[in-house]
Amino acid sequence: MADETAPPAPEGAKPKRHWRTRTKLILFGMLLSPVLIFALYAFVTLSVTYSDGYRAGILQKFSKRGWICKTYEGEIAQAVVAGVSPLIWEFTVRDDGVAQQLDSLLGHRVSLHYRQHVGVPTTCFGLTEYFVDSVSVVHD
């Protein structure tokens, strides 16, 4: 009668992985890689500021918009010269506190501090590349 047991593996030797396990790991890596790349790209575009500054004008529109991703969007009218149609500047707000302030200042002259983030991947972060982070009332 032949001995049907396999000889014991030498000490310190790793057991061989089955080819299906290796294939599953490769497929999982191929599926996970685009998600990680997208997350890294979104993080970088939202972290790196292309420019920042101030804009002043009359706050004429402010709302929460979007089908799935709701974002606060607004616009101010910047009067260049009296009698000339104003330049409209659109912006996005991500902070709820700043959004509440802006909601109460509709129709007033305001100064907005913004940061410009170029290349934000989707509109779920905002419809514009200008993100307002503070607001103050301008008294004439």
Residue 135 confidence (pLDDT): 95
Which residues are paired to 77 by β-bridges?
A: 58, 88
DSSP E strands in 28-118: the ranges are: 51-65, 71-78, 87-93, 109-116
C-alpha 93/C-alpha 102 separation (Å) is 9
The predicted structure's pLDDT at residue 27: 86
What is the predicted pLDDT for the residue at 22? 80
Beta bridge partners of 132: 93, 114
CA distance 94 to 117: 13
pLDDT for position 52: 93
| CA 11 to centroid of chain Cα atoms | 52
Beta bridge partners of 58: 77, 109
Q: What is the pLDDT along the chain (140 residues), one digit of tens a residue?
A: 555 665 666 666 565 657 778 888 888 888 888 989 998 988 888 888 899 999 999 999 999 998 888 999 999 999 777 778 889 999 999 999 999 999 999 999 999 999 999 988 888 888 999 999 999 998 87
Model confidence, pTM: 0.74
Contact 15, 9 (CB under 8 A): yes
